[in-house]
Structure 1
Amino acid sequence: MAKKLSRRSFLKQSAAFLLSLFGLAGGGYSYARFIEPKRLEITELDIAHELIPRAFHNKRIVQFSDTHLGFQYTLKQLEEHVQKIQSLRPDLIFFTGDLLDRPDNYELAEIRTVIATLEKLEAPLGKFAVYGNHDHGGYGTDLYASIMKKSGFQLLKNSSVELRHLQETIHLLGVDDASLGQPSLSQAKKSARAGQYLVLLSHAPDLAKDAAEAGIHLQLSGHSHGGQIQLPWYGALYTPPYAEIYKEGEYQVDGNTALTLYVNRGLGTTRLPFRFLSVPEITVFTLKSKQG
């Protein structure tokens, strides 16, 4: 026979249960506010394709994204992550947008520090970047272009560049941001040659279907932050426009070509200073040639 609880025992157990819930909630808040945003995950993937030339076999691409400097992400964190990127021995470095959270609120002295820090990044085959929506916001369009140029990055805005190594090439394209810019895949692809392996940098991941139809083979994006806050068995509570279909990680997208898309969760936060089950990320891609 079940033991009958006295009113006092019931109240004591109920109080203990409620205190436990509040404790878990408080612990969850502290973790999401102060711990997970400072964590870092290095994701490594091999990218194999028959159009990747032998000269690019085992070349390493390091992608970072969405720092949102000035909101919660600090100059000290940027310095630490630059050191981490260098330790990964990149042949190419790609930044896929949203450098400053509010460009109009960022001080000149801080901008000089950003430039000095990003200058430390070195990659023998080059450093490249594209616009994110925050890079255009707050009158930031020209400021972002200036920062990236002074830092040694080539900014691709509906344009492309041929990457050459040992007389073999792949083609790198970059489009403007989809939210506050005017992306044009056709303009970016103008100088690409038939038979080349095509890599696209697009801040917005949801351009992937258009990219697959345009013959792109690999697209690297950011913007979503992986939702910043996820629930177990549910996933991201919210992702912004142009990151509603492809939210994080690797996807295969069918079109005129089979496109591999990777959506990086980014390093910083925006709007809310929280991350939960969406750890900040740097991605390393190792190219694999199938040409013998």
Structure 2
Amino acid sequence: MEWLLILIVLVFGLVIYLYIQNYYLEIDEYTVTIPKLHNNIKGKKIIQISDTHLKLRYNEGYVNHILQKIKAQNPDIIVITGDLVQSEQSDLDQIPIRKLCEGLSAIAPTYMVTGNHDIQTVNFEEFTHILDSSNVRLLLDEAEWVTFKEDEGGIVLMGLAERPKDEEIPKPILKYIELTAEMSKQPKILLAHRPERFKEYLDDKTKAPSLTLSGHTHAGQMRIPFIGGAFAPGQGLFPKFDYGIFSDEENQSKRLIISRGIGNSTFPFRINNRPEIVVITLN
């Protein structure tokens, strides 16, 4: 009987641990200095979420919890860096996409870029319609001048569309994002789902972002103490870009922030890797 009691305690402890790791949202904050940023933009706050992987039977109470956490941060804008939904979803009305997106856009202007799962939805046209009618601006190889309420000044926000095949990726990678002459002179933030292409995002000097925001890695899914993430798609075992903030080796002012994400994809658990909401204060 003693061994049975020990087993029950261990199983109960494992269930609690996995619940915390999968649903106990963590707020991670970064202050990022961007050269030539207008003084009125300094101190503005961007919320980044990523990889929610919404699917059938997704807990709507958890969506409310996400929205409450984000609202409490009082953001100026919100960005979603891909994989809003799990791939191969067909009945989008049964997935809380609209609930999350309408909730986000009611808090602050919300922008999104596609991830690999988003473009694999059965009806991508319906997916984009839901975003548009929920006031979420989907940036597909586009740039937009973003202002912050009544304050003077702004920033260029660019979004790189996800491609289903590597051979479809343009060279240079930001080739199809068109900027006006004035935009080219202004500070730029890029939303791009895949962080492993960070160096490529900086190739075109007229479009190179000061800050790139990515997801995709789930922080390596399982995090090993003193080592980091175990595996990330596009990078393999022990990825260099797992999560957190990185600087370009040649130009330290060019930064990359990778979100650990919120949801799970094929592997159903997070291990030593809680879901994350990223809060970025511009400086």
Distance 1:55 1:236, change over 3 A: same
- Partner in structure 1 of residue 260 of structure 2: 265
Give the one of 211, 222, 225 matched to 2:218.
Answer: 225
Distance 1:50 1:89, change over 3 A: same
Q: Which amino acid aligns with 2:98?
A: I
Are the counterparts in 2 of residues 92 and 123 from structure 1 also a CA contact under 8 Å?
no
1-structure distance, mates of 2:211, 2:225: 29
Kindly indicate whether residue 198 of structure 2 is the aligned counterpart of residue 208 of structure 1: yes
3-state SS in 1 of match to 2:135: coil
- Partner in structure 2 of residue 141 of structure 1: 124
Give the one of 5, 19, 40 matched to 1:55.
Answer: 40
Kindly provide the CA deviation profile for residues 183-219 of structure 1, in whole angstroms up to 9, marking residues without a partner as x.
Answer: 5412225336333111000011112111223321100
1:82 shift after superposition = 1.3
- Partner in structure 2 of residue 172 of structure 1: 157
- Partner in structure 1 of residue 177 of structure 2: 188
Are the counterparts in 1 of residues 54 and 85 from structure 2 also a CA contact under 8 Å?
yes
2-structure distance, mates of 1:41, 1:54: 30
Unpaired segments of 5 or more residues in structure 2? none
2-structure distance, mates of 1:257, 1:123: 35
3-state SS in 1 of match to 2:103: coil
Distance 1:71 1:263, change over 3 A: farther
1:23 shift after superposition = 7.5
3-state SS in 2 of match to 1:277: coil
Q: Which amino acid aligns with 1:83?
A: Q
Kindly indicate whether residue 145 of structure 2 is the aligned counterpart of residue 162 of structure 1: yes
Larger radius of gyration between Structure 1 and Structure 2: 1
2-structure distance, mates of 1:117, 1:280: 16
Q: Which amino acid aligns with 2:51?
A: D
3-state SS in 1 of match to 2:212: strand
- Partner in structure 2 of residue 238 of structure 1: 231
2-structure distance, mates of 1:245, 1:267: 20
Kindly indicate whether residue 80 of structure 2 is the aligned counterpart of residue 95 of structure 1: yes
3-state SS in 1 of match to 2:219: helix
The alignment's TM-score, normalised by the length of structure 2, stands at 0.84
Q: Which runs of 4+ in 1 moved over 3 A?
A: 22-29, 122-125, 178-184, 189-192, 242-245, 254-258
2-structure distance, mates of 1:213, 1:50: 18
Give the one of 99, 114, 134 matched to 1:116.
Answer: 99
1:52 shift after superposition = 1.1
- Partner in structure 1 of residue 89 of structure 2: 104
The alignment's TM-score, normalised by the length of structure 1, stands at 0.81
1:31 shift after superposition = 4.4
Q: Which amino acid aligns with 2:187?
A: Y
1:144 shift after superposition = 2.6
3-state SS in 2 of match to 1:104: coil
% identity of equivalent residues: 28
Kindly provide the CA deviation profile for residues 155-201 of structure 1, in whole angstroms up to 9, marking residues without a partner as x.
Answer: 00111101134342311100012555855412225336333111000
2-structure distance, mates of 1:257, 1:195: 19
Which stretch of structure 1 is more off in the superposition, 195-204 or 229-238?
229-238
2-structure distance, mates of 1:37, 1:23: 21
3-state SS in 2 of match to 1:170: strand
Are the counterparts in 2 of residues 33 and 273 from structure 1 also a CA contact under 8 Å?
no
Distance 1:72 1:82, change over 3 A: same
3-state SS in 2 of match to 1:100: coil
3-state SS in 2 of match to 1:278: coil
- Partner in structure 2 of residue 9 of structure 1: none
Kindly provide the CA deviation profile for residues 14-58 of structure 1, in whole angstroms up to 9, marking residues without a partner as x.
Answer: x98xx97x7797467424543310111101111112311112111
Aligned-pair Cα RMSD in Å: 2.8
Are the counterparts in 2 of residues 73 and 268 from structure 1 also a CA contact under 8 Å?
no
